[in-house]
Chain A
Amino acid sequence: MKQIKTLNKNLKESAVKGGCGECQASCQTVANQKCNNR
């Protein structure tokens, strides 16, 4: 039986393709913010 399950699929890629700044303001959030070419 598989003993490791990965829940999700790109943070590193986003550092290169991101940074457009068009996302809405966040405040304490970043964790659930919607995103941009990505």
Chain B
Amino acid sequence: MIHKYSLNGYNIVLDVNSGAVHVMEELPFRMLDYLKDSVPEIPPQELLEELCPVYGRGEVEENYADLHQLYQSGMLFSSDEYEKFADMMVAAPVKAMCLNVAHDCNLRCEYCFAAKGDFGCGRMLMPFEVGKKAIDFLIQKSAGRHNLEVDFFGGEPLMNFDVVKQIVEYARSQEKEHNKNFRFTITTNGILLTDDKIDFINREMSNVVLSIDGRKEVNDRLRVRVDGTGSYDKIVPAYQKLVAARSKEKDYYARGTFTKYNLDFTNDVLHMADLGFDQLSIEPVVSDEKLDYSIKEADLPAVFEEYERLAKVLIDRKKEKKGINFFHFAIDLNQGPCAIKRLRGCGCGNEYVAVTPQGDIFPCHQFVGDDQWKMGSVLDGTFDTEKKKYFAKANVYSKEECKNCWAKFYCSGGCNANNWQYEGDVLKSHKNSCELEQKRLECAIMMKAALAEEESE
């Protein structure tokens, strides 16, 4: 399978099963329209009859030979040999955990998937004892895995920061005995950031996600406090202080959500860059289409156009040595993760689970609050292995729409929770999300082509 497209003056061909990416001039690019799933030694008669009068026989034969060489080398129309690996993941240990340390929040963001902080379960904070048992559960269920990840999440985790610190200290105390390496992350709305918290976060958290939607008027329209006032003026100086003090060896993202209200989100990316942030993500809201701010199918062409505009802006900035790492345009074409990881994606419900303040286990943070997906409890050690197996088998070959999709090894089957919430089936891909992901990948690969051209000049 190949995927060919033209964008920003580049003719790009992705060979799906090898991962090879080719940039082509017009003639070889057109030739591919005459080839179905191979490049036979002898060119199809129709190709010769239609292209030789336009380009000349010599050019056609020379370029056809190049395509044939790529085919012979396994870099064009290469075969799909990965389905046999799909069952390799069933008994995978748990290696990552989202700890919902706060089912409470000091903001009331309109689009919050967590029902404005409490996940519909009532406002409460995680006691340390539950966090400790969650760490014990992760160590036990991680078997031989060395690298473990714990994401402090909510709600707003800074509302329960003493417990965050206790959990980190406890987990660190267990590393040597169990031969584990904990990697911590935290996601915050910034309201409660203080110098002490910034110091702790910059010391202990491998990644910190700083929630902000961009321009003040955009951010303050939906990211509001309990009294309805905006959050921008409070959070921006705190974020700037945190990022300025943070080691370049550690990750951070200033991360926002764009909605129907700001389909010109390139301006929000640029605004955040002007504030001094260079690790950025702004992502489409995923919500019920009945809501005013939701992005509907009819909005997709405008979003696609904006992604193209953003890609061109980011190319120009990179050339001017003012590059930004944009989360959804970051792609590693040379190595990246192995094919096994690409089949299984995020591993929700299998390698990754979420734990509530009460100690209940869910497949991931997006499933929390939907009791039919409860998998057990860290308090009594119960863990539904049948549900785990179900999620283990949710891969790009068990999802009909994914199996034949060109983007499957970069998207890895999309978000299981979105599939469930909006399509009613974990294994049925959320259509709008697929189209958005495909567009982002096309832009990301095009950016690689543009920057490779720049380097070779």
Closest to B342 in A: A30
Shortest A13–chain B CB gap in Å is: 9
**Given A15-B339, A23-B341, A33-B336, A28 and B437 touching (CB < 8 A)?**
yes
Contact present for B23 and A5 (CB under 8 Å): yes
Shortest A16–chain B CB gap in Å is: 9
**Size of the chain A interface, CB-CB below 8 angstroms:** 35
Contacts of A7 in B (CB 8 A): 21-23, 333, 448-449, 452
**Given A12-B81, A25-B351, A27-B346, A33 and B67 touching (CB < 8 A)?**
no
**Given A30-B336, A30-B412, A38-B338, A6 and B18 touching (CB < 8 A)?**
no
Contacts of A29 in B (CB 8 A): 327-328, 330, 410
B401 contacts chain A at the CB level, 8 A cutoff: no
Contacts of B414 in A (CB 8 A): 28
Contact present for A35 and B23 (CB under 8 Å): no
Contact present for A21 and B337 (CB under 8 Å): no
Secondary structure of the A contact surface, majority rule: loop
Contact present for A25 and B95 (CB under 8 Å): yes
Contact present for B409 and A8 (CB under 8 Å): no
Contact present for B331 and A4 (CB under 8 Å): no
B28 contacts chain A at the CB level, 8 A cutoff: yes
Contact present for B347 and A30 (CB under 8 Å): no
**Given A11-B409, A25-B351, A28-B414, A33 and B337 touching (CB < 8 A)?**
yes
Contact present for B183 and A3 (CB under 8 Å): no
Interface string of B345-356 (1 = CB under 8 A from A): 111000110000
Contacts of B415 in A (CB 8 A): 27-28
B27 contacts chain A at the CB level, 8 A cutoff: yes
**Given A7-B449, A27-B346, A22 and B145 touching (CB < 8 A)?**
yes
Contacts of A28 in B (CB 8 A): 346, 411, 414-415, 433, 437
Shortest B451–chain A CB gap in Å is: 10
Contact present for B17 and A12 (CB under 8 Å): yes
Contacts of B410 in A (CB 8 A): 29-31
Contacts of B81 in A (CB 8 A): 12, 15
**Given A18-B341, A22-B145, A28-B411, A8 and B25 touching (CB < 8 A)?**
no
Interface string of B385-417 (1 = CB under 8 A from A): 000000000000000000000000111101100
Shortest A23–chain B CB gap in Å is: 6
**Given A4-B70, A12-B74, A33-B332, A18 and B339 touching (CB < 8 A)?**
yes
Shortest B439–chain A CB gap in Å is: 13
Contacts of A34 in B (CB 8 A): 332, 337
**Given A6-B75, A21-B95, A35 and B336 touching (CB < 8 A)?**
yes
Across the interface, B63 reaches (CB within 8 A) one of A4, A12, A18, A24, namely: A4
Most buried by B among A10, A24, A34: A24
A positions within 8 Å CB-CB of B: 1-12, 14-15, 17-36, 38
Q: List 30 A-B contacts (CB under 8 A).
A: A3-B25, A3-B63, A5-B22, A6-B21, A7-B21, A7-B449, A8-B21, A9-B334, A11-B19, A11-B409, A14-B337, A15-B338, A19-B85, A19-B340, A22-B145, A23-B341, A24-B96, A25-B96, A25-B346, A26-B412, A28-B411, A28-B414, A28-B415, A30-B341, A30-B410, A31-B330, A31-B332, A31-B410, A31-B441, A38-B335
- List 4 A-B pairs, minimum CB-CB distance, nearest first: A18-B338, A25-B96, A32-B330, A19-B340
In the complex, besides A30-B410, A31-B331, 15 extra interface pairs with C-beta distance below 8 angstroms are A4-B28, A7-B22, A7-B452, A11-B339, A11-B409, A12-B78, A12-B81, A19-B340, A21-B95, A24-B96, A28-B346, A29-B327, A31-B332, A31-B336, A35-B336
